[in-house]
């Protein structure tokens, strides 16, 4: 199969239908008719049946769509497949010779033709008898005749004859397309000598089955909203699903599907377009005009609105819709005529000449105005009609309506479209842009809104208050799209213009007070901004602004690990905060992230749960990605890693809706790869995050990414590189003035320098860290401080080092930080084993079990190597330095990995195993990750160990 083509090998659904056909084959003589609309999977079902018939002969004939079909052509085509299977030990019935003139290719294998009959009816009857006799000769036999809707009348007459004279060991499977009427052969089949034929009516797939089919074709599970849109787009018709995904894969390359909007701009598959256009052209002019109007109106063909738009009476509309239904362009659902699927409507719409489309949109808008429809619908039709003034007016009304219902994303989309209209007056542009700035911050239109707002700030002479509000919105848009420094600077500029707008000023200053936003500001600056925000909030008298400032102050203290943050949070949660769903949800998720930063996993989980519940109630779409990211981070810290790496990979994909969260998701992905493998991918992730975070000035992921890279380089025996990244992370933490963030970098630096025999150089820094953490409640930082002190003590007092590590291990366990606990146990065990202390073996085994439960394959491999080096028995199921391969790799992954370990290239493996190169690449990457290998060379070593 060519790369990029859907794999249609797996049958989705249809289990009861397949069982019915299998029963037909068993219970001979028998007949079954598989019917359904075009593309619903009739032929696919029959292929699945015949592939399972290993002990029964099968003949297949195909009716063809010809202007004048050849008499009996599908049956004769089936007989031509028999070839040298005719004859054998059984004597052929002489009447079979009547088929010889019709089958010259095998005539020499048949009895001699009987004398010619002059009565055409008698001759046809003899041919029918001959065909039945030959079918009986081949028994047991399954005869499949496909696409009876194209069959000639002689073939249909033969099937009526056959149903009355079925040979005892014959099963007949027929397929035919139906749209609105039954196939004419059904009456004859109902009177079959063996009893009425089984009717297998295939319906479109349901949503779950469409998701299964899409997952098989894409070789990954698509997002639920993607499959929901795919179902709506295709009507659940398997052929249409496959063609849409084939078109998608050809246009998207190796990119996996993202959100449902990725389907919106997809062209209708060529095969489907040809079918729909052919049916459309077969309609008369009246029906075609009505169907064009229906495509403009929407998926549902509203009879009354169609009459108003086209000027035709109700009877004319009904006739046109009935003709379209007869051709399968429409179908009946819930008492209304609807397009069979969205793609059929799209093809009809695009087939309508552009001038006619504009006229129909205008007529539709005018007809709708008298009915008080949703403003969004009117805006759409006026826009497509090219009526700018009416479109902008209704788009603004639609945006206001969306905002009133809390749908900021929809409001932002309408305002972006309105601002894109030509010839807008300056005052209208400013009014729309200010509204857009407000909506886009909480919506999802960051990318679209930014250039519009920036252009207005550059080109318009705006009053100070308007300019300040617009700049504040622009700064927030920049921050939310991931450009932390640029956004921060814009908001700083806005502050000067907002002096006379204390409510907006208070909110702007509260944003500037958040410490995790930017690299170039010290905690003192954030604290000063927070105090200024409190003054502005009091001056405004706006309770909402006061709440926003208090939320920021609690977060500012929490990021430092200050215990007084918790009473502030509890006061807010128990007071006014729950009255504002959005502020409530946003605050809980921000606090949950801060709690994770300092290692308060218990608090983070509670805040996350509350934040998600509130966000779901508020249907606050902008927080969806943030909530998913915080959830993933919590699960990482808690050691719940099952399936986590795939979810995190999707979070940072091209379809991510909240740019500011993407760096954090990439960082988390890198941390998982560093523990699971391969190490090169982890290094690439960290390098990417460091480069981008440094460029945009995003302090939180920058410090953490540099620290994570330092730790990774230590596992790769590069203490010089590790020290370089650790020094940079320490410098960032010191510049920010937050030692709760600086503890992990200090520990990494201590390890890197200790590996070079220079541990003493970090002693003063460890003391500085201890002073900075005094009085804080930050378990993760406190654990890092204890371990850093143990690193220093290990060179002169092993007992003190052990005591510090025991305390660190207990602190991590108490905080629920499983990975941190495993690392402390590993350090303790390794140190003791190196000194010959018998307790070290138990410590290493404890670390191994903690890593294995995650599973952290690279860490497991490293601990197993240490255990072998020190003669410590490795427990089941870890053998040969990593988990047993049989429990880690699938059979296919193992085979691919073995060939890769033997030096084969991906293309060579693909050729040998009949796989695509892309599939081989996926299996190799999966094997490297699961086994914690950095390279194919490491893979070879592991597989050699396993075979030994």
Model confidence at 6, pLDDT cuts 50, 70, 90, reads very low
Q: What is the overall mean pLDDT for the chain? A: 85
pLDDT in tens, 80-117: 877 666 765 568 889 989 998 888 888 888 888 998 88
80 and 169 in a single domain? The answer is yes
Candidate ranges 158-162, 495-499, 931-935; pick with highest mean pLDDT: 495-499
791 in a structural domain: yes
61 and 192 in a single domain? The answer is yes
pLDDT in tens, 877-913: 776 444 444 445 666 777 788 788 777 888 888 777 7
91 and 221 in a single domain? The answer is no
Cβ burial of 722 (10 Å; 0-12, 13-18, 19+) is buried
Is-contact 645 672, C-beta < 8 A?
yes
Greater model confidence, 50 or 603? 603
Sequence length of the chain is 948
Q: Is the pLDDT of residue 794 over 80?
A: yes
CATH of the domain at 493: 1.25.40.10
785 in a structural domain: yes
Is-contact 563 707, C-beta < 8 A?
no
CATH of the domain at 173: 3.40.50.300
Q: Is the pLDDT of residue 441 over 60?
A: yes
- Partnered with residue 300 across adjacent β-strands are 338
Is-contact 683 502, C-beta < 8 A?
no
Is-contact 517 523, C-beta < 8 A?
no
Is-contact 345 299, C-beta < 8 A?
yes
Pairing of strands 141-146, 170-177: parallel
Q: Is the pLDDT of residue 253 over 70?
A: no
The confidence score (pLDDT) of residue 878 equals: 75
Greater model confidence, 8 or 294? 294
Pairing of strands 336-339, 330-333: antiparallel
797 and 862 in a single domain? The answer is no
Q: Is the pLDDT of residue 546 over 70?
A: yes
Model confidence at 365, pLDDT cuts 50, 70, 90, reads very high
Residue that finishes a domain, picked among 574, 603, 633: 633
114 and 244 in a single domain? The answer is no
pLDDT in tens, 697-729: 999 899 999 999 999 999 999 999 999 999 999
Residue that finishes a domain, picked among 238, 266, 294: 266
795 and 915 in a single domain? The answer is no
113 and 219 in a single domain? The answer is no
Residue 396: cis peptide before it, omega within 30 degrees of 0:
no
374 in a structural domain: no
How many domains does the chain divide into? 6
* DSSP class of 60: E
Beta-carbon count within 10 A of 393 CB: 17
The confidence score (pLDDT) of residue 150 equals: 82
Virtual CA dihedral for 487, 493, 494, 497, nearest 10 degrees? Answer: -170
> CA 421 from chain center: how many Å?
33
Q: Is the pLDDT of residue 264 over 70?
A: no
678 in a structural domain: yes
For 416, how many CA atoms within 13 A lie in the half-sphere containing its CB?
18
pLDDT in tens, 567-578: 999 999 998 777
* Owning domain of residue 134: 14-202
656 and 804 in a single domain? The answer is yes
862 in a structural domain: yes
Spell out the SS3 assignment of 402-466.
HHHCCCHHHHHHHHHHHHCCCCCCHHHHHHHHHHHHHHHHHCCCHHHHHHHHHHHHHHCCCCHHH
628 in a structural domain: yes
535 and 672 in a single domain? The answer is no
The confidence score (pLDDT) of residue 83 equals: 67
Measured distance CA(773)–CA(452) in Å, rounded? 45
Measured distance CA(943)–CA(2) in Å, rounded? 31
Measured distance CA(22)–CA(27) in Å, rounded? 9
CATH of the domain at 930: 1.10.10.10
Residue 617, CA distances (Å) to 225, 525, 621, 675, 755 in order: 18, 36, 11, 36, 52
353 in a structural domain: no
Residue 140: cis peptide before it, omega within 30 degrees of 0:
yes
180 and 231 in a single domain? The answer is no
217 and 136 in a single domain? The answer is no
Residue that finishes a domain, picked among 598, 633, 668: 633
The confidence score (pLDDT) of residue 524 equals: 95
Beta-carbon count within 10 A of 796 CB: 10
618 and 684 in a single domain? The answer is no
Residue 877: cis peptide before it, omega within 30 degrees of 0:
yes
The confidence score (pLDDT) of residue 556 equals: 96
Q: What is the rounded end-to-end Cα distance, in angstroms, of the chain?
A: 37
The confidence score (pLDDT) of residue 850 equals: 94
98 in a structural domain: yes
Beta-carbon count within 10 A of 844 CB: 24
């Amino acid at each position: 199969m060519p790369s990029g083509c859907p794999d249609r090998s797996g049958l989705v659904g249809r289990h009861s239908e397949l069982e019915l056909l299998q029963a037909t084959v068993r219970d001979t003589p028998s007949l079954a008719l598989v019917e359904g609309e075009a593309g619903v999977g009739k032929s696919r079902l029959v292929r699945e049946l015949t592939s399972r018939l290993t002990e029964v002969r099968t003949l297949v004939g195909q009716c063809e769509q010809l202007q004048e079909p050849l008499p009996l052509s599908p049956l004769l085509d089936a007989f031509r497949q028999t070839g040298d299977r005719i004859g054998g030990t059984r004597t052929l019935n002489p009447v079979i010779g009547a088929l010889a003139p019709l089958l010259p290719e095998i005539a020499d294998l048949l009895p001699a033709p009987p004398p010619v009959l002059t009565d055409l009816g008698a001759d046809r009857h003899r041919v029918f008898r001959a065909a039945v006799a030959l079918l009986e000769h081949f028994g047991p036999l399954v005869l499949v005749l496909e696409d009876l809707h194209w069959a000639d009348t002689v073939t249909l007459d033969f099937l009526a004859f056959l149903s009355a004279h079925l040979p005892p060991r014959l099963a007949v499977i027929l397929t035919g397309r139906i749209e609105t009427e039954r196939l004419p052969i059904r009456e004859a089949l109902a009177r079959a000598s063996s009893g009425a034929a089984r009717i297998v009516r295939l319906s479109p797939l349901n949503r779950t089955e469409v998701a299964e089919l899409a997952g098989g074709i894409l070789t990954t599970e698509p997002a639920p909203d993607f499959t929901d849109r795919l179902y709506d787009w295709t009507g659940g018709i398997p052929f249409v699903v496959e063609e849409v995904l084939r078109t998608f894969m050809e246009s998207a390359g190796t990119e996996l599907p993202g959100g449902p909007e990725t389907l919106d701009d997809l062209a209708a598959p060529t095969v489907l377009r040809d079918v729909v256009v052919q049916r459309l052209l077969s309609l008369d002019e009246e029906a075609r005009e009505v169907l064009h109007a229906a495509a403009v109106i929407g998926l549902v063909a509203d009879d009354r609105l169609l009459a108003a738009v086209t000027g035709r009476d109700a009877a004319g509309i009904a006739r046109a819709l009935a003709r379209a239904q007869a051709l399968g362009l429409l179908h009946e659902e819930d008492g209304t005529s609807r397009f069979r699927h969205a793609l059929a409507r799209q093809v009809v719409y695009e087939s309508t000449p552009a001038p006619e489309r504009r006229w129909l949109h205008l007529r539709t808008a005018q007809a709708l105005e008298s009915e008080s429809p949703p403003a969004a619908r009117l805006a759409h039709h006026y826009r497509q009609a090219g009526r700018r003034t009416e479109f902008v007016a209704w788009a603004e009304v639609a945006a206001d309506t969306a905002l009133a219902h809390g749908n900021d994303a929809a409001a932002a989309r309408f305002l972006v479209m309105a601002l894109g209209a030509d010839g807008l007056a300056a005052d209208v542009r400013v009014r729309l842009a200010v509204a857009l700035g407000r909506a886009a911050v909480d919506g999802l239109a960051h990318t679209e809104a930014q250039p519009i707002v920036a252009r207005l700030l550059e080109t318009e002479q705006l009053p100070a208050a308007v300019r300040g509000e617009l700049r504040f919105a622009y700064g927030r848009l920049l921050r939310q799209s991931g450009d932390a420094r640029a956004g921060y600077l814009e908001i700083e500029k806005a502050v000067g213009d907002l002096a006379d707008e204390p409510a907006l000023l208070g909110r702007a200053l509260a944003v500037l007070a958040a410490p995790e936003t930017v690299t170039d500001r010290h905690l003192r600056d954030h604290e000063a901004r927070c105090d200024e925000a409190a003054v502005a909030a009091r001056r405004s008298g706006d309770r909402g602004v006061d709440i926003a400032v208090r939320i920021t102050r609690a977060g500012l203290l929490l990021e430092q690990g200050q215990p007084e943050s918790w009473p502030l949070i509890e006061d807010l949660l128990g007071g006014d905060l729950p009255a504002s769903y959005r502020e409530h949800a946003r605050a809980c998720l921000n606090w949950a992230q801060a709690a994770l930063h300092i290692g308060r996993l218990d608090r983070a989980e509670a805040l996350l749960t509350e934040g998600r519940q509130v966000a779901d109630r508020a249907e606050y779409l902008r927080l969806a990605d943030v909530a998913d990211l915080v959830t993933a981070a919590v699960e990482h810290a808690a050691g719940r890693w099952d399936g986590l790496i795939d979810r995190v990979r999707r979070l940072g994909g091209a379809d991510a809706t909240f740019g500011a969260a993407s760096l954090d998701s990439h960082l988390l992905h890198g941390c998982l790869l560093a523990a699971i493998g391969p190490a090169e991918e982890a290094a690439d992730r960290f390098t990417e995050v460091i480069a981008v975070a440094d460029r945009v000035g995003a302090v939180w992921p920058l410090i953490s990414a540099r620290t994570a890279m330092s730790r990774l380089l230590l596992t790769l025996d590069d203490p010089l590189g590790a020290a370089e990244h650790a020094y940079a992370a320490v410098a960032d933490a010191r510049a920010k003035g937050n030692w709760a963030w600086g503890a992990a970098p200090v520990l990494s630096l201590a390890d890197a320098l200790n590996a070079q025999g220079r541990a003493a150089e970090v002693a003063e820094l460890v003391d500085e860290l201890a002073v900075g953490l005094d009085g804080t409640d930050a378990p993760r930082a406190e654990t890092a401080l204890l371990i850093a002190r143990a690193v220093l003590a290990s060179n002169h007092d092993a007992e003190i080092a052990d005591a510090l590590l025991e305390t660190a291990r207990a602190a991590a366990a108490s905080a629920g930080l499983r990975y941190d606990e495993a690392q402390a146990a590993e350090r303790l065990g390794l140190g003791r084993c190196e000194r010959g202390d018998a307790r070290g073996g138990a410590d290493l085994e404890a670390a191994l079990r903690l890593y294995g439960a995650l599973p952290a394959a690279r860490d497991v491999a490293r601990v197993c190597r240490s255990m072998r080096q020190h003669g410590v028995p490795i427990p089941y199921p870890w053998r040969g330095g990593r988990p047993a391969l049989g429990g880690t790799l699938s059979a296919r992954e193992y085979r691919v990995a073995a060939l890769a370990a033997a030096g084969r290239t991906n293309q060579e493996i693909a050729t040998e195993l009949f796989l695509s190169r892309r599939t081989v690449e996926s299996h190799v990457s999966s094997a490297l990750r699961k086994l914690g290998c950095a390279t194919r060379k490491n893979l070879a070593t592991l597989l050699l160990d396993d075979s030994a």
